[in-house]
Structure 1
Amino acid sequence: MRLRSGDPETIGGYPLERRLGAGGMGIVYLARTASGRRVAIKLIHQQFADDEEFRTRFRQEVSAARRVSGAFTAAVVDADPEGAHPWMATAYIEGPTLSERITSGGPLGGGELRTLAVGLAEALRDIHRVGVVHRDLKPSNVVLSAEGPRVIDFGISRAADHQTLTMTGRVIGTPPFMSPEQLQAPRDVGPESDVFSLATLLVFAATGQGPFDADSPYLTAYQVVHEEPRLSAVPTVLRAVVEPCLAKDPGERPSTDELLAQLLALPTGFHVGFHVGAGSGTSAGGPVDSATRVLGGGARGQTTGPERVERPEPVEQVEQAGPRTGSRTLTGIGPGLRRRWRSVLAAAVAVAAVASGVALLGPDRGADAQNTAQGEQPGAGSPGKPLPEGFAPWEVSVRGGKGIPDELRCVPRGADLYCGGGGVVATRLRAADGKRLWTVRSPGVPANGMHFVGVTGAGTASGGEVESAADAGQNGADAGPTVVGYRIPDGAGSPQVVALTEGGKERWSAPLGGESTLLTGRTQSAVLHRGDVLSVDPAGTRIEARRAGGDGSVRWSRPFPPGTQCAPYAPNPRAARLYALCASAAEVESVQVDRPTLRLLDPADGRLGEPVRLKGRWRPVGEADGKLVLVEERMEGLDFAGYSAVALFDPRTGKVGEHALRGASGDSVAVAEGAQPTVVAGALHFVERSGRVHSVDPASGRVRWSRQTGVEWASAPVASDGVLYFGSASGRVAALDAREGELRWATPPRVESPGSEMGATARVVVAGRAVIGSAGGNTVFGFDGGRPPEEG
């Protein structure tokens, strides 16, 4: 629809192109960011701007939508809920709503129906894992995009840790898709209510009618509360899954994890869905539930070309289609966490919609994920350094097991790169041309921030971890590098940490538990440190250390202090000290960790030092001058209110020195959310969603400089030879002078990606003079840092 007379030309600095739709609460416009990304902007009708109850609702919607941005949900790009005319911008993708699809094409069946069911169950699972209850799941709030279904509109959603609005006694929702408890006590609904709504939606998709449809909303509401659902027209295999979800008692319904496992287990005759290629698969014998699984390691792999590897989890060899090269211009949360705090899916793309909740009577952390780089790469990336032999600009996309687009993270090692994430346990690429030598895929759905662990062991490293001969000697008979990544299971079961040889053969795997993101602020369920892999056992009771290059047997195991839960933290893989962040079990259960304790963790035997009590939401972000740097998150109810303080912990004295963040004039400042705060090049760096970077002296909390990179949703930086590199999910890369913050250059975008990963870790590494970046869609690319791509 064209813009109409009276429509604004811009909203929040975003030029508008056309209308996408309108409703009782507002209008949605199509717009573009400065980098050319399409966004959908939801502008609230002016008459509601002065309605404090509605403004509070909209504020909750924005906050909830930011928390749940994922592969099957709406990704928030920008918003201003406090402005005179409130608005919210999300990433845009074309597609009809489920309501429109059923109206025009009739009920769904077979693979199309299964794909919808699995996608929505995955979306709901991850909405709940971050503590949000949607409360308005209905056909008009599901968009059928080319990549799968998207859940939109969190206008009446509720966060588990936020006070529910009274809403002046009104029952908000859409009766045919509401749960009995939502109709009777709307303030008290939990995730079980969304499970009920999902079941009604699937019945509608399969039959064209809801299980409680009646002639009036009054009668429909009565039938939801008192009558049995009408399911005779639902396919038998699907009915067996949805019927328990429609139980009147919320406690009798399955969880979203259980529901997803049941949907994934539907007969193959009912399945088309997401295609899983030959290079994917599950481990022999199914998911590992407890002990380490050893797969025999084998001899050191060759580095000169593709390798043929026979193993229970297939290693895919070089793809038929090679990387694109040339000179054209190129543009956990911990896995053991409860449903409400498990990590959200990555690669979010969605279209926003106008909030249509009506009264009953109406018709969205240096490169810590790849623990070897850790944000600082001395001696690489500068114009004086050489390029890899035979280098030419390149770009590849490494398909994951589910084929769901996400992001990867990479580590340079000799002439190659090792990358992981996006449904990929690990892949090996040639740094010179991006040629893929092997790939080991993960069978499950990619998880936000759970990309890659790292590379350790003997061999030549470029800007990553360089282990000593003594370290290499402890890695077992095979002294070659060990590649460590994550495997996400297909359905229920714990994620696993997987150790591979440089040739892609699996050495061992072990299940993961723990609360890493809740306790440390980082999706770092496995920590690489001096050849060991540290993790929490699946039961969430102890920290374990395994030698990465050995057989994966537990080298030491240290129980948590009584009544607590802990997560290990390493400032970098070669750090002299290890730490554990702990909190009481009650705080972890309530998802309100405001009084954590910090302990030294002995890397030799796992002994825990005396607790240092912290007051507030403190997150470790690196080391400076031998001291651990932490930043404090401020919350205003449900809403993140910015980082406002920095602290230094001196492990020699056990003392903590705290400083408020202050601007150049000495005034207190609060830095908005964005990438993972990171200590590199001797300073603490905050990167806001807008692409603005703040360099802070960690010893005083004083802002040294602030600059706009022009890279939206930029990741944490990596530093090399006095230059900071930032990357976005769209493939834009910016280089800033680390000392003064002067922008040296920025590249154009190269892929269409929303890039809304919260707390994004570094997307850029350097190998000699080559700059290697990762972007949305499992894209990895390389270019000459001395001749970066230009607009044109």
Structure 2
Amino acid sequence: MSLRGGDPEEIGGYPLEARLGSGGMGTVFLGRTASGRPVAIKLIHQQFADDEEFRIRFRQEVAAARRVSGAFTAAVIDADHEAEHPWMATAFIEGHTLAQRIAKHGPIGGAELRTLAIGLTEALRDIHRAGVVHRDLKPSNVVLSPEGPRVIDFGISRATDQQTLTMTGRVIGTPPFMSPEQLQAPRGVGPRSDVFSLGTLLVYAATGQGPFDADSPYMTAYQVVHEAPSLGAVPTVLRSVVEPCLSKDPENRPSADELLVRLRDLPSDLGGPAGAGGGCPTRETDTQHHLSADDTPSPGAPPGPAETDGHPHTGTLIGRHLRRRWRPVLAAAVAVAAIAGGATLMRTGSSDEPGGTGGEGGNVAATGSAALPHRFEPWKKTVLGGRPDIPDELRCLTRGDAVYCGGGGVVAARLRASDGSRVWTEKSPGVPVQGMHLVGATDDTVLGYRFAAEDAPGDPATEVVAIDADKGKELWSVPSGAQSTAVTGRTQDAVVVGSTVVTVDASNTRLEARSAHSGAVAWRQPFPAGTQCSPVPSGARLYAMCAPTTEVSATDVRHPTLHVVDLDSGTLGRSIALKGPAQPVGTDEDGLVLLHRDEKRLVSVGYDGVLRVGRDSHKVTYSRLPKTYAGTPGMADGSVFVSGQTGLVTAFDPATGRKKWSRQTGVEGVSGPVGGDDGTLYFSSASGRVVALPARGGAPLWTTNPRAEGLAGETNASPRLVVAGRVVFVAAAENTVFSFDTTKPPKSG
């Protein structure tokens, strides 16, 4: 992993730490930004620096990667294609490539195969929506990150609105995964060529072999153009979907959008290879011929993907606990949105606890005797004013017969609980900040965030806005700070406690308390010297969580402290030292509960311990978790939960860190949990899928179909649903809000 003699010490101002991979066209190094964020830097080999055709290719690669970077790719951080030695820096994504996964463990089957298929198809769909054709989809260009599959290496991609580079006399690509038209007429390939490659990729994932494998690249290319694919070992249910992708005629192949619809209809468990009892291990030599010379990792490099042209195991610190403005393609969104059919009983759950049982029987609905809203019927509405280019932006809460939703391009909107009809909407003109949704509500006031329009630089960048709950008229507003994520791991610069709203001032120097309705200032409390703080509600109590300013600036909070805040005067209690970095997740009967973040991981959302701060004694206890768990944390019904991006939900005892149970829900990217009055826990995804689990044991009760075309959503997201008696109100992508009776969950989307 170390640098070699002759390797540069820095590239483009980024100090280098290690050589990660090297290929025929470039070498990839591990570098660091000024704030310590790891990046993968691809440096083009010297012999190509004077090749004008290659420089054009590299410039196209950078442009294509920028167009789609974020949700499904390694986001481009910096690049210089005009440098003496061109280079590009991308986010560092942790994970093995699909090629490495198959070589080590053999074919993929069951629910994992379905999840991979849908994740890759969503990735391809969004790449095509960005106007880019990848042209080199292959196993070594797919990284299986903890947050879902990522498609990498746009070295021979092109934008559909650009002229194709001639590449005189050369056919560029990887024959086992190229389309017939790419082999015969490479200048004319379009999005359906990528669909063909995706089909070959899925066959390879399911069987460990490509559908056109032969003894030489030349014979393989011949088979691609002239012969039928070999699909005998592909699981039967997947074969019917993959086969049309491998049509020789591009016009007969489905688009990525059409393919995604077909994949969603597949059962949750695709089984193993056809004719076998499960995935058969594949000999390493069976997969090596799929790898090009550009896929060679450096000796001593850490385990992880060796990307084409040296794109490495690009471990990502997505966000690094720092909030940032959303972009049209979200860097924090994830490329997995596996979807199962109907509100059916899920039998995939398994418990690691003694006596754990999976669900059995027919559909089981959550029970509840609470009354429904007057004349309630299930509904689905779009909250106008949101930004369709920003998924996962809305969050809602309920007060009486009102449903208040805000986030993205909406400060707040009021809907009727009975039918979802709109009462009023207050819009926000600017680009929202990731994770900042609705602030809260009282009986007569709802509070949200407003972001300044990009053409109004004189306006406050972020404001907390109070709106009259009945009339929808603005009551008051105040500029707000925007730094709490670095301190607490959550975006929470304003909170409502009782009838008071507590904010961080615009200069990030103090807490301010106001009457939620009138805006009258109750007190202002400066942060302790040399610290930055964020308000943390805990039931009727308020804490200030603080960290040294130097650690906040370096995005490396190791020594956070807590202070009890006197709600009448704002006076801060004594400092309570915490083992950091720590993230508040909820409150139990004994006090505030936080999760300790594992900063040894290269992903930003791993948790390895649980802390509890006593309600009265303020004594801090710390318990290690059985291992590091990656995902979205939450707390309900006295338990701490971490929801993984693949749908695995794990429950812990906050007092001991002991794992209570673990269940595979099959709903990827879930946030939550939210507890119902009857002990049922609800989790939901950005696509609007909801899964219900009992707090005891976690055996899934039911799950629903998707209700919106959403990504799996941001990791570490706040809950997307709220429960009021028997009714669940769910906020999903595309500014969608819908409701249903939990005793009658919807059976179709």
The structure-2 alpha-carbon separation of the partners of 1:688 and 1:100, relative to structure 1 and needing over 3 Å to count, comes to closer
Measure how far apart 1:63 and its partner are. 13
Which residue number in structure 1 is paired with residue 382 of structure 2?
A: 397
Q: In 1, distance between residues paired with 2:602 and 2:714?
A: 19
Output aligned runs, 1:73-222, within 5 Å: 73-76=69-72, 81-82=95-96, 85=99, 91=123, 92-93=125-126, 95=128
1:546 to 514, 520, 530: 514
CA contact (8 A) 2:31 2:41 kept: no
1:607 aligns with 2:575: no
Secondary structure at 2:326 match in 1: coil
Q: Which moved more, 1:382-391 or 1:720-729?
A: 382-391
CA deviations 1:750-781 (Å, max 9, x no partner) are 21111321211111112332221110011000
**Counterpart mapping for 1:343-422 below 5 A:** 343-345=324-326, 348=329, 382-400=367-385, 404-406=389-391, 407-422=393-408
Among candidates 639, 644, 652, match of residue 688 of structure 1: 644
Equivalent position SS for 2:604: strand
**Whole-Å Cα distance in 2 between the matches of residues 418 and 596 of structure 1?**
33
**Corresponding residue for residue 740 of structure 1:** 697
CA distance in 1, matches of 2:694, 2:651: 11
Q: How far off its partner does 1:578 sit?
A: 1.2
- Report if aligned partners of 1:633, 1:642 keep a CA contact under 8 Å in 2: yes
Q: Which amino acid aligns with 1:85?
A: A
**Which residue among 722, 727, 736 is the counterpart of 1:770?**
727
Q: Deviations over 1:675-712 (max 9, x none)?
A: 2x222101111111111111111001001011112111
Aligned partner of 2:663 in structure 1 is: 707
Displacement of 1:483 in angstroms is: 0.7
1:755 aligns with 2:709: no
Shift of 1:509: 0.4
Q: How has the CA–CA distance of structure 1 residues 558 and 412 changed in structure 2, closer, same or farther, with 3 Å as cutoff?
A: same
| Contact map agreement 2:334 2:713 (CA 8 A) in 1 | no
Change (3 A) 1:540 1:60: closer
1:670 alignment partner, SS class: strand
**TM superposition shift of 1:430:** 1.1
Closer, same or farther: CA 634–52 of 1 in aligned 2, 3 Å: farther
Does the alignment pair 1:596 with 2:566? no
Tell me the CA shift for residue 639 of structure 1: 3.3
Letter in 2 for 1:733: V
- Give the letter for the 2:413 counterpart: T
Is 1:488 aligned to 2:451, yes or no? yes
Secondary structure at the aligned position of 2:486 is classed as helix
Q: For residues 692 and 610 of structure 2, what CA distance do their matches in structure 1 show?
A: 25
Task: Write the letter of the residue equivalent to 2:613.
Answer: F
**Is the Cα–Cα contact under 8 Å of residues 408 and 432 in structure 2 kept in the other structure?**
yes
Q: Report how many aligned residue pairs link the two structures.
A: 456
1:440 is the counterpart of 2:454: no
Per-residue deviation at 1:637? 6.5
What residue identity is the alignment partner of 1:701?
G
1:514 Cα deviation after fit: 4.5
Task: Give me the whole-angstrom Cα distance separating, in 1, the residues matched to 2:73 and 2:671.
Answer: 14
One-letter amino acid of the structure 1 residue matched with residue 71 of structure 2:
A
The unaligned stretches of length 5 or more in structure 2 are 1-20, 43-64, 75-92, 102-118, 135-152, 162-318, 336-364
Per-residue deviation, residues 163-204 of structure 1 (Å, max 9, x unmatched): xxxxxxxxxxxxxxxxxxxxxxxxxxxxxxxxxxxxxxxxxx
CA root-mean-square deviation: 4.0
| Contact kept in structure 1, 2:563 and 2:573, CA below 8 Å | yes
Q: 1:728 aligns with which of 663, 680, 685?
A: 685
Show the counterpart of 2:177.
none
Q: How many angstroms apart in 1 are the aligned matches of 2:419 and 2:548?
A: 50
SS in 1 for 2:485: helix
Choose from 598, 615, 622 the match for 1:658. Answer: 622
* Residue aligning to 1:464: none
User: CA 1:588–1:790 in 2, change beyond 3 Å: closer, same or farther?
Assistant: same
SS in 2 for 1:517: helix
Task: Quote the Cα distance in structure 1 between the aligned partners of 2:491 and 2:41.
Answer: 21
**2:593 aligns to what?**
629
Matched, 1:786 2:743: yes
Partners of 1:718 and 1:612 lie apart in 2 by: 29
Q: Report if the CA contact (8 A) 1:402-1:444 is conserved.
A: no
Give, in whole Å, the separation in 1 of the partners of 2:445 and 2:401.
16
- The alpha-carbon distance between structure 1 residues 733 and 765, as it changes in their structure 2 partners (threshold 3 A), is same
Q: Deviation string for 1:507-556 (max 9, x for gaps)?
A: 10000014211111111111111111111111111110011011x13210
Q: Which residue of 2 aligns with 1:679?
A: 635
Cα displacement (A) at 1:384: 2.1
Counterparts in 2 of 1:381 and 1:425: CA distance versus 1, 3 Å: farther
User: Counterpart of 1:713 in structure 2: which amino acid?
Assistant: G
Whole-angstrom distance in 1 between the partners of 2:671 and 2:731: 10
Amino acid at match of 1:341: L
Inter-partner Cα distance in structure 1 for 2:657 and 2:582? 15
Cα shift at 1:401: 5.6
Aligned pairs for 1:232-271 within 5 A: none
Task: Name the residue aligned to 1:370.
Answer: none
**Aligned residue in 2 for 1:562:** 529
- The answer to whether structure 1 residue 529 and structure 2 residue 497 are counterparts is yes
Q: Distance in 2 between matches of 1:70 and 1:604?
A: 50
Contact 1:537 1:543 in 2 (8 A): yes
- For normalisation by structure 2, the TM-score amounts to 0.55
Who is 1:358 aligned against? none
User: 1:587 is paired with a residue of what secondary structure?
Assistant: helix
Residues 97 and 560 (structure 1), Cα distance of their counterparts in 2 relative to 1, 3 Å cut: closer
CA contact (8 A) 1:395 1:780 kept: yes
Distance in 1 (alpha carbons) for counterparts of 2:693 and 2:321: 38
| Deviations 1:311-330 (CA, angstroms, capped at 9, x unpaired) | xxxxxxxxxxxxxxxxxxxx
CA distance in 2, matches of 1:683, 1:382: 21
Aligned equivalents of 1:637 and 1:62: distance in 2? 16
1:50-99 CA-to-partner distances (Å, cap 9, x unmatched) read 999759699967999xxxx9998521499872357358957432547678
Q: SS of the residue aligned with 2:96?
A: coil
Go from structure 1 to structure 2 and tell me whether the alpha carbon gap of 1:421 and 1:84 turns closer, same or farther (over 3 Å shift). Answer: closer
Q: Any conservation in 1 of the 2:326–2:390 contact (CA below 8 Å)?
A: no
Match of 2:627 in 1: 669
1:96-146 CA distances to partner (integer Å, 9 max, x unpaired)? 767889xxxxxxxxxxxxxxxxxxxxxxxxxxxxxxxxxx999979899xx
SS at match of 1:518: helix
Q: Would the aligned equivalents of 2:465 and 2:476 in 1 still touch at CA under 8 Å?
A: yes
1:432 partner letter: S
Aligned to 2:144: none
C-alpha change, 1:782 and 1:639, in structure 2 (3 Å) is closer
Residue 733 of structure 1 and its aligned partner are, at CA, apart by: 0.4
Identity of aligned residues (%): 42
Q: In 2, are the aligned partners of 1:694 and 1:706 still within 8 Å (CA)?
A: yes
Give the C-alpha shift of residue 610 in structure 1.
1.3
